[in-house]
Amino acid sequence: MIPQPEYIAATAGLPFTKDFFDFAEALINDEHEYPRARVLAWVRRHSWGNFHLYCVRDDGSPALQRDIAADLGIHKGTVSKTVAYLIQRGYLRDNGRRLTPVLRPELQEPEPDGGRTFEDYLENVFRVANAAAYEQLKAAEKAFREARLVARNDYREYRRRDPAPAKVADRQPETGQPETGNPELPKPETPYKERGLEGSVRTYEPVPQPEEPPQAHPVSPPPSPPAEIPIREKIATFLNSRAHAFGLRTGVDRQVLDSIAAIITTDERLSRFCHQIEVQKPRPKSWRYFVSIAEAVAALPSPESPPGRKPPTSEERAEMEELERLVRSDNPEDWKEWERRTAKAGSG
């Protein structure tokens, strides 16, 4: 751009040095740099770099804070706070909406935050409102500083006792073979000049280490076997995991779960109970429906029954056959009919 007359008049006689555009733009685009440095570099590049006393766009119109936010990719609030800080410190001049850097800045001390810093909050507010947590925080900070001091002392002792090892290409044992056993590495007698370097191969003697008595480590006991999950918890997990498939919006009721757990007392019954539900795929109106399924599963003959049992009567055999048919049935209406008959027989 053409230097403006006011720019020439204001900078006449001022010593200066070259500030190359590539360096300034690298700082502007450095996302790891602090926003203050990036914003100040942007202001200098778009003001003095364009021979203006204030920032301008490529078309010569005044540049605004939103242009900085768009170019730097940072929030407009961050740009506003940064510009206010630079004005307060004396790097920029308060010139309305025009971003104007100061040719001869006189630095000013930043205004206090009015006790709104994090440290002030900890000491004046948090310390009173939550004294126990404040003491825990201070104790943790003290323990951290002490542990870090011990670690740094151990690190210094470690560096003094164990110097940095040599590189693999430079460290060779007395046997003439590389320590790693890699045949591609050069032999000790191969001079560096054959590899394009001058000198010969250096060797290092191992640093003697003080012998320490072996420490007896206590043998840890074998891990304890995992605790057996109660049947009641297994039932609850199975039913709650399928509540959405059942069309029920809430988890299984506690009373219903207690009733089912009182009937399904073994893993064998639980397996048959779950299998029946998976086969039937019911969509009941309430969780109480599953109590009847548990009662039907419990009434089936179990393979764990003791020997010597009396043969069932014809009535018992007919009831067991009916229950087996119900277990294999996929029709919920059969179960409702069986519940009605059972309730009627119990009341009679």
pLDDT of 189 over the 70 cut: no
Within this chain, do residues 39 and 138 fall inside the same structural domain, yes or no? no
CATH number of the domain within which 45 lies:
1.10.10
Model confidence at 66, in pLDDT bands (50, 70, 90)? very high
Domain assignment of residue 14, yes or no: yes
Per-residue three-class SS string for 307-335: CCCCCCCHHHHHHHHHHHHHHHCCCHHHH
Within this chain, do residues 238 and 329 fall inside the same structural domain, yes or no? yes
Q: pLDDT tens digit string along 146-163?
A: 999 999 988 888 888 877
Strand partners, 99: 94
pLDDT for the residue numbered 72: 93
Within this chain, do residues 321 and 258 fall inside the same structural domain, yes or no? yes
Predicted TM-score of the model (pTM): 0.37
Within this chain, do residues 237 and 318 fall inside the same structural domain, yes or no? yes
Number of domains in the chain: 3
Model confidence at 348, in pLDDT bands (50, 70, 90)? low
Average pLDDT, stretch 155-176?
65
pLDDT for the residue numbered 199: 44
Average pLDDT, stretch 184-210?
49
Within this chain, do residues 251 and 319 fall inside the same structural domain, yes or no? yes
Within this chain, do residues 319 and 245 fall inside the same structural domain, yes or no? yes
Average pLDDT, stretch 55-74?
93
Domain assignment of residue 172, yes or no: no
Task: Report d(CA 256, CA 50) in Å as an integer.
Answer: 80
pLDDT of 177 over the 70 cut: no
Domain assignment of residue 277, yes or no: yes
Q: pLDDT tens digit string along 267-284?
A: 888 888 888 888 887 888
Contact predicate 31/73, CB 8 Å: yes
pLDDT of 238 over the 50 cut: yes
pLDDT for the residue numbered 343: 63
Within this chain, do residues 274 and 331 fall inside the same structural domain, yes or no? yes
Domain assignment of residue 148, yes or no: no
Range of the structural domain that residue 85 is part of: 5-101
pLDDT for the residue numbered 92: 94
Q: pLDDT tens digit string along 289-318?
A: 888 888 888 887 765 444 445 555 666 667
Q: Give, in order, the Cα–Cα distances in Å from 190 to each of 61, 72, 173, 228, 340.
A: 70, 55, 14, 67, 98
Within this chain, do residues 24 and 64 fall inside the same structural domain, yes or no? yes
Within this chain, do residues 67 and 119 fall inside the same structural domain, yes or no? no
DSSP 56: B
Model confidence at 53, in pLDDT bands (50, 70, 90)? very high
Within this chain, do residues 325 and 238 fall inside the same structural domain, yes or no? yes
